[in-house]
Structure 1
Amino acid sequence: MSGSGCVTDLVREDLRSFAGYRSARSESLDGRIWLNANESPWSSDADAAGTVRRYPDPQPQALRRTLASLYGCNPELLLAGRGSDEAIDLLVRALCRPGQDAVVLTPPTFGMYAVCARLHGTRVVEVPLIDRADGFACDFDAVADAALAASAKLVFLCSPGNPSGTSLPLEAVDALASRLQGRALVVMDEAYAEFACAASATTLIQSNPNIAVLRTLSKAHALAAARIGSVIADAALVSVLQRCQAPYPLPAPSVALALAALAPDALISTRQRIATACGERDRLYRQLTASPGVRQVYPSQANFLLVRFDDAQRAFESLLAAGIVVRDMRAAPALGDALRISLGTPEQNAEVVRALARSREAA
């Protein structure tokens, strides 16, 4: 079975030849007066540039090429969409039959995998990460066993993990995908990859086409509100996902922002900010580790730290009293004493340390 044939065999049988919706922008036509999409012939008063009255290109080629260059892949292997969330939803819808198939997750992890699965009537099988002194670890053998036992179609892995901050070893991911070849797609969510010193799983797709990689411009590139994400996968699978995608997923203003953010000069600034964030991550890690009332700070390869407290409620309230909002993780499995603290500016991070110190002094 060929690589492409193997991975498309994982797609729902009723969707393998599904043509999807053919929008007006899908037609390769040339003209001077465009009257084929029921658009307004006049621009909105709110649109001074007159650029948004027409529907956008479903997959703008300039953006697709730029993203592919950024992530080191061929453009035909990349589908751009509305953040990683849309890619997660597309994968579940395209591969999982409601009420029949399953996905495997490794909690604690990003909540949208389970949300998309449950909204689609897909069973969730959990293989918890192993909590160790040096960070959370994935039991790849247990993940493979669970996926095979449940006949799962998707295995979602997050690297660096959210909220763990842990990077997964690529050789283990490669071995997992090899074991699940023809049985399941291994999805590597690399939303925080820019903050990690590790190679991307995109390097594994050629040898293991049952790997898909998720990337986003929301974190390191500071475009969270623009909602630009990508799924990188075997070209045949990308083609299927595009046919399942909404007709116009990429708003023109968001595309323009993305292209501007990925221009050479902007990328230099982004890399400088990433370096600053990583330095702040290491400094804040040391400061919090030495703070009274802090039970454990997990090493992180992302732009946040997962912290366990003797009294997480007191810590949360003290930070909030100082105007600092962090993510309360206590409802997540095995994290009943934990908060996730995103990295801010050096000044903001210093305020976190001061607020927690005041909390201990007042105790």
Structure 2
Amino acid sequence: MSANGDESLLALVREDLRGFGGYASARSQSFQGEVWLNANESPWANPADGSGGNRRYPDPQPQALCERLAGLYGCSPEQLLVGRGSDEAIDLLVRALCVPGRDAVVVTPPVFGMYAVSTRLQNAPLVEVPLRDTEAGFIADMDAIAAAALQSRARLVFLCSPSNPTGGTIALEDIAALAERLHGHALVVVDEAYGEFSDLPSAIGLMARRSNIAVLRTLSKAHALAAARIGSLIADAALIRVLRACQAPYPLPGPCVQLALAGLDEAAQALTRQRVRLLKAERMQLQAALVRLPGVCRVYPSQGNYLLVRFDDAEQAFRSLLTAGVVVRDQRAAPQLGDALRISIGTPEQNARVLAALSAQEIAA
């Protein structure tokens, strides 16, 4: 990237953080030695620690994991920030780019709530551009998003694609066009937490031409490692350096890193791809079956591992599922979703249980 590209992107960072060095932890310094006495760690292992390795602080950005993830996502390790799920990256972006009370964040409700939570915690103005409910499903109004971002002098625009909870996606050419319109004004962050379930390519491929695009990815969904809490932000290397300075010293526990490395080996990735194909087939079958049920008003098309469903009586549907031991996400408090539930795609047996519970409520009625 050219120097001008770096400068235009770094101009979006808070003025007081542009030269911020952050905390220099013991593991952030490159030394070689046999006796490590620089971090006030215990010289003895905990009795529960069979390997003894957990008495040491972990690497802030584990090289092996960063390289594995960079290969998975098609970026360089320098473009990657690994942290505690996507949530940490969202929070870091808002804190690093938005001056409290001044720099706005644009979101597109109904959408993942952590964008708004991080914005509120930073006391940054929150600008909402609602998704439009159309015959094709919920879609993002890109012209309205651009206008709102420019008018509010926003520093961040969060796009969720596939969108949670609606399941819709945003075409890459629309993302690129928005980034072009907001060049020098805002960073466009594309949340691809459910990207493995989508038929669209990743927006990571746009970053070579648009420095103000960043992408969020996670191991919590398709890779089945939600408890490990490992997510990634892929962005311009200059921005990644700023965010690393703002990040807590040791964001990734060592055991979680080892679990992630094992969960990303060739055999595990092959199984993940197989399960994604199965889940997408189940998504299609469950959608077709739900549409035929009495009491179901609409099932939205989805590129995620879930379906958004409107009901004549969402309360009754929710209670019927609970009675059958099935817990789904109640979306009725979300904007435009007063009659909707979000149903994650499960195993074939679990999906059959959903259909049985909803069918039984109609028979009882």
TM-score (norm 2): 0.99
Match of 1:200 in 2: 202
Secondary structure, counterpart of 1:2 in structure 2: helix
1:89 is matched with 91
Looking at structure 2, the residues matched to 262 and 167 of structure 1 have their Cα atoms a distance apart, in angstroms, of 26
Mapped pair 1:182 → 2:184: yes
Question: Residue 87 of structure 2 aligns to which amino acid in structure 1?
Answer: D
Taking the aligned partners of 1:47 and 1:343, their CA distance within structure 2 comes to 37
Divergent runs of 4+, >6 A: none
Aligned residues: 363
Which residue number in structure 2 is paired with residue 228 of structure 1? 230
User: Which digits, 9 at most, give the CA deviation of each residue in 1:222-247, with x for residues without a partner?
Assistant: 00000000000000000000000000
CA distance in 1: counterparts of 2:218 and 2:55, whole angstroms: 27
Give the AA of the match of 1:217.
Answer: L
Report the AA paired with residue 16 of structure 1.
R
Task: List runs of 5+ in structure 2 lacking aligned partners.
Answer: none
Post-superposition shift, 1:296? Answer: 0.3
Deviations 1:286-322 (A, max 9, x none): 0001110000000000000000000000000000000
CA distance in 1, matches of 2:68, 2:127: 36
Cα distance in 1 for partners of 2:275, 2:254 equals: 26
Letter in 2 for 1:153: R
CA distance in 2, matches of 1:74, 1:328: 39
Which position in structure 1 is the counterpart of 2:139? 137
Give yes or no for the alignment of 1:337 onto 2:307. Answer: no
Q: Which amino acid aligns with 2:349?
A: E
Equivalent residue for 1:326?
A: 328
Deviations 1:149-180 (A, max 9, x none): 00000000000000011111010000000000
Q: Does 1:116 align with 2:118?
A: yes
Aligned pairs for 1:2-151 within 5 A: 2-151=4-153
Residue 304 of structure 1 aligns to which amino acid in structure 2? Y
Which residue of structure 2 aligns with residue 267 of structure 1?
Answer: 269
Measure the CA separation in 2 of the matches of 1:342 and 1:208.
33
Q: Deviations over 1:330-356 (max 9, x none)?
A: 000010000000011000000000000
Query: Which of 314, 317, 322 lines up with 1:315 in the alignment?
Result: 317
| 2: CA distance, partners of 1:347 / 1:326 | 15
User: 2:303 maps to which residue?
Assistant: 301
CA offsets 1:86-132 (integer angstroms, 9 cap, x no match): 00000000000011111000000000000000011011000000001
Provide the rounded CA distance (Å) in 2 between the counterparts of 1:129 and 1:295: 19
SS class of match (2:154): coil
| Cα drift, residue 133 of structure 1 | 1.9
TM-score for both structures, normalised by structure 1 = 0.99
Partner letter of residue 78 of structure 1?
A: L
- CA distance in 2 between counterparts of 1:71 and 1:95 reads 24
**C-alpha deviation, 1:206, in angstroms:** 1.2
Superposed CA offset, 1:200-220 (max 9, x none): 111111111000000000000
Residue of 250, 257, 260 corresponding to 2:259: 257
Counterpart residue type for residue 275 of structure 1: R
Counterpart for residue 358 of structure 1: 360
* SS, match of residue 216 in structure 2: strand
In structure 2, what residue type is equivalent to 1:297? V
Q: Which amino acid aligns with 1:131?
A: D
Q: Deviations over 1:250-272 (max 9, x none)?
A: 11011001100110011000101
Give the Cα–Cα distance (whole angstroms) in 1 for the partners of residues 142 and 351 of structure 2.
35
Compute the displacement of 1:4 (Å): 1.4
Which SS does the other structure have where 1:356 is aligned? helix
